Amino acid sequence: MPKLVDHDLRRREIIESVWRLIARNGFDGTTMRDLAAEMGLAYGAVNYYFPSKNDVLIASYEHVFKMTQDRFERKVGSRTGVNALWVLASEMMPIGDEARLEARVLLPFWERCASSERFAAANAVGLTAINDLFVELLDDASDAGDIALGTDSVSLAKTLLTLISGAQALAVLMPDQYPSSVFGQMLKDFFDREIIPAQAR
Protein backbone atom coordinates (compact mmCIF):
# COMPACT_ATOMS: atom_id res chain seq x y z
CA MET A 1 0.00 0.00 0.00
CA PRO A 2 1.50 3.40 -0.92
CA LYS A 3 2.57 5.60 1.96
CA LEU A 4 0.16 8.43 2.63
CA VAL A 5 1.78 11.86 2.75
CA ASP A 6 0.36 14.70 4.84
CA HIS A 7 0.94 17.42 2.28
CA ASP A 8 0.10 20.32 4.60
CA LEU A 9 2.56 18.97 7.17
CA ARG A 10 5.28 18.43 4.56
CA ARG A 11 4.80 21.96 3.24
CA ARG A 12 5.15 23.37 6.77
CA GLU A 13 8.24 21.26 7.39
CA ILE A 14 9.89 22.57 4.24
CA ILE A 15 9.24 26.20 5.15
CA GLU A 16 10.31 25.75 8.77
CA SER A 17 13.62 24.47 7.46
CA VAL A 18 14.35 26.63 4.43
CA TRP A 19 13.45 30.10 5.69
CA ARG A 20 16.63 30.05 7.77
CA LEU A 21 18.65 29.13 4.69
CA ILE A 22 17.28 32.19 2.89
CA ALA A 23 18.03 34.32 5.95
CA ARG A 24 21.62 33.06 6.14
CA ASN A 25 22.54 33.08 2.43
CA GLY A 26 20.21 35.72 1.06
CA PHE A 27 17.34 35.12 -1.33
CA ASP A 28 19.36 35.67 -4.50
CA GLY A 29 22.16 33.48 -3.19
CA THR A 30 19.87 30.51 -2.57
CA THR A 31 18.79 28.09 -5.29
CA MET A 32 15.89 25.68 -5.35
CA ARG A 33 18.44 22.86 -5.25
CA ASP A 34 19.91 24.41 -2.08
CA LEU A 35 16.43 24.35 -0.56
CA ALA A 36 15.98 20.70 -1.46
CA ALA A 37 19.40 19.80 -0.05
CA GLU A 38 18.60 21.58 3.21
CA MET A 39 15.64 19.25 3.66
CA GLY A 40 17.41 16.17 2.32
CA LEU A 41 14.78 15.92 -0.42
CA ALA A 42 14.90 15.49 -4.16
CA TYR A 43 14.63 18.72 -6.14
CA GLY A 44 11.26 17.63 -7.51
CA ALA A 45 9.84 17.13 -4.01
CA VAL A 46 10.39 20.80 -3.10
CA ASN A 47 9.27 21.92 -6.54
CA TYR A 48 5.99 20.05 -6.04
CA TYR A 49 5.07 22.25 -3.07
CA PHE A 50 6.79 25.43 -4.22
CA PRO A 51 7.03 25.74 -8.02
CA SER A 52 9.28 28.80 -7.83
CA LYS A 53 11.60 30.66 -5.46
CA ASN A 54 9.02 33.44 -5.27
CA ASP A 55 6.54 30.91 -3.86
CA VAL A 56 9.13 29.99 -1.23
CA LEU A 57 9.75 33.64 -0.35
CA ILE A 58 6.06 34.41 0.07
CA ALA A 59 5.60 31.32 2.25
CA SER A 60 8.68 32.31 4.29
CA TYR A 61 7.27 35.82 4.80
CA GLU A 62 3.98 34.36 6.02
CA HIS A 63 5.90 31.97 8.27
CA VAL A 64 7.82 34.86 9.85
CA PHE A 65 4.51 36.56 10.64
CA LYS A 66 3.19 33.34 12.16
CA MET A 67 6.29 32.89 14.32
CA THR A 68 5.91 36.43 15.63
CA GLN A 69 2.23 35.82 16.36
CA ASP A 70 3.01 32.54 18.13
CA ARG A 71 5.66 34.18 20.32
CA PHE A 72 3.27 37.01 21.17
CA GLU A 73 0.48 34.62 22.14
CA ARG A 74 2.85 32.58 24.33
CA LYS A 75 4.21 35.61 26.17
CA VAL A 76 1.24 37.97 26.45
CA GLY A 77 -0.68 35.85 28.95
CA SER A 78 -3.44 37.89 30.56
CA ARG A 79 -1.90 41.24 29.68
CA THR A 80 -4.04 43.64 27.68
CA GLY A 81 -3.87 47.19 26.34
CA VAL A 82 -0.52 48.93 26.46
CA ASN A 83 1.19 46.00 28.22
CA ALA A 84 0.13 43.65 25.43
CA LEU A 85 1.23 46.25 22.87
CA TRP A 86 4.70 46.30 24.44
CA VAL A 87 4.95 42.51 24.17
CA LEU A 88 3.90 42.55 20.51
CA ALA A 89 6.20 45.43 19.53
CA SER A 90 9.12 43.81 21.35
CA GLU A 91 8.59 40.56 19.45
CA MET A 92 8.53 42.42 16.12
CA MET A 93 11.59 44.60 16.78
CA PRO A 94 14.88 43.02 15.56
CA ILE A 95 16.09 42.39 19.08
CA GLY A 96 17.97 39.12 19.39
CA ASP A 97 19.30 36.65 16.85
CA GLU A 98 15.96 35.10 15.86
CA ALA A 99 14.21 38.38 15.10
CA ARG A 100 17.23 39.64 13.17
CA LEU A 101 17.21 36.48 11.05
CA GLU A 102 13.52 37.06 10.35
CA ALA A 103 14.34 40.57 9.15
CA ARG A 104 16.63 39.02 6.52
CA VAL A 105 13.56 37.37 5.01
CA LEU A 106 11.45 40.52 5.16
CA LEU A 107 13.86 42.75 3.25
CA PRO A 108 14.00 40.79 -0.04
CA PHE A 109 10.24 40.30 0.22
CA TRP A 110 9.65 44.05 0.49
CA GLU A 111 11.97 44.72 -2.44
CA ARG A 112 9.71 42.60 -4.66
CA CYS A 113 6.56 44.37 -3.50
CA ALA A 114 7.47 47.35 -5.69
CA SER A 115 7.19 45.30 -8.88
CA SER A 116 4.78 42.47 -8.03
CA GLU A 117 1.08 42.84 -7.26
CA ARG A 118 1.12 39.37 -5.71
CA PHE A 119 3.86 40.32 -3.25
CA ALA A 120 2.30 43.72 -2.54
CA ALA A 121 -1.06 42.10 -1.77
CA ALA A 122 0.48 39.61 0.66
CA ASN A 123 2.39 42.43 2.35
CA ALA A 124 -0.74 44.57 2.65
CA VAL A 125 -2.61 41.73 4.35
CA GLY A 126 0.16 41.16 6.89
CA LEU A 127 0.90 44.78 7.75
CA THR A 128 -2.77 45.79 7.86
CA ALA A 129 -3.47 43.04 10.37
CA ILE A 130 -0.57 44.19 12.55
CA ASN A 131 -1.57 47.85 12.30
CA ASP A 132 -5.19 47.03 13.19
CA LEU A 133 -4.01 45.12 16.25
CA PHE A 134 -1.87 48.07 17.32
CA VAL A 135 -4.93 50.34 17.06
CA GLU A 136 -7.09 47.90 18.99
CA LEU A 137 -4.59 47.61 21.86
CA LEU A 138 -4.10 51.38 22.03
CA ASP A 139 -7.86 51.99 22.09
CA ASP A 140 -8.30 49.34 24.80
CA ALA A 141 -5.68 51.04 26.96
CA SER A 142 -7.21 54.47 26.36
CA ASP A 143 -10.75 53.26 27.08
CA ALA A 144 -9.55 51.66 30.32
CA GLY A 145 -8.04 54.99 31.39
CA ASP A 146 -4.53 53.52 31.52
CA ILE A 147 -3.06 55.95 28.99
CA ALA A 148 -3.79 59.37 27.57
CA LEU A 149 -2.81 59.40 23.92
CA GLY A 150 -0.97 62.43 22.59
CA THR A 151 -2.42 61.75 19.15
CA ASP A 152 -5.13 59.49 17.73
CA SER A 153 -4.54 55.76 17.91
CA VAL A 154 -4.56 55.29 14.12
CA SER A 155 -1.72 57.77 13.59
CA LEU A 156 0.21 56.42 16.55
CA ALA A 157 -0.13 52.85 15.29
CA LYS A 158 1.23 53.88 11.89
CA THR A 159 4.20 55.60 13.54
CA LEU A 160 4.97 52.50 15.60
CA LEU A 161 4.75 50.27 12.53
CA THR A 162 7.07 52.64 10.64
CA LEU A 163 9.57 52.54 13.50
CA ILE A 164 9.60 48.76 13.60
CA SER A 165 9.78 48.34 9.81
CA GLY A 166 12.67 50.79 9.59
CA ALA A 167 14.46 48.98 12.39
CA GLN A 168 14.04 45.66 10.59
CA ALA A 169 15.60 47.12 7.44
CA LEU A 170 18.52 48.69 9.31
CA ALA A 171 19.19 45.46 11.19
CA VAL A 172 19.96 43.88 7.81
CA LEU A 173 21.61 46.82 6.03
CA MET A 174 23.76 48.19 8.87
CA PRO A 175 24.01 45.47 11.54
CA ASP A 176 27.24 46.77 13.12
CA GLN A 177 25.82 50.24 13.66
CA TYR A 178 22.44 48.98 14.86
CA PRO A 179 22.87 46.23 17.44
CA SER A 180 19.87 44.88 19.30
CA SER A 181 20.48 47.20 22.25
CA VAL A 182 19.92 50.25 20.04
CA PHE A 183 16.54 48.97 18.89
CA GLY A 184 15.54 48.10 22.43
CA GLN A 185 16.25 51.67 23.53
CA MET A 186 14.39 53.09 20.51
CA LEU A 187 11.29 51.16 21.43
CA LYS A 188 11.48 52.19 25.08
CA ASP A 189 11.93 55.84 24.10
CA PHE A 190 8.90 55.65 21.81
CA PHE A 191 6.68 54.22 24.54
CA ASP A 192 7.98 56.72 27.12
CA ARG A 193 7.40 59.65 24.76
CA GLU A 194 4.18 58.72 23.00
CA ILE A 195 2.31 56.30 25.24
CA ILE A 196 2.09 58.07 28.55
CA PRO A 197 0.24 56.82 31.65
CA ALA A 198 -2.96 58.80 32.16
CA GLN A 199 -1.89 60.07 35.57
CA ALA A 200 1.21 61.67 34.01
CA ARG A 201 -0.84 63.88 31.69
pLDDT digits (tens, 9 = 90+) for 59-72: 989 999 899 999 99
What count of other Cβ atoms lies within 10 Å of the Cβ of residue 196?
15
- 135 assigned to some structural domain: yes
pLDDT band at 3 (very low <50, low <70, confident <90, very high): low
Q: Which of 137, 21, 129 has the alpha carbon at shortest distance from 68?
A: 129
Q: What is the DSSP letter of 29?
A: T
In a domain? residue 95: yes
- Domain count across the chain: 1
User: Cα–Cα distance between 117 and 56 in angstroms, integer?
Assistant: 16
Where does residue 79 fall: left (phi above 0), alpha (psi -120 to 50 degrees), or beta otherwise? Answer: beta
Q: Which amino acid is at 91?
A: E
pLDDT tens track for 89-107: 999 999 988 899 999 999 9
Q: Is residue 116 part of a domain?
A: yes
User: Within a domain: residue 25?
Assistant: no
Does residue 192 form part of some domain? yes
In this prediction, residue 44 carries a pLDDT of 81
Helix (H, G, I), strand (E, B) or coil at 197: strand
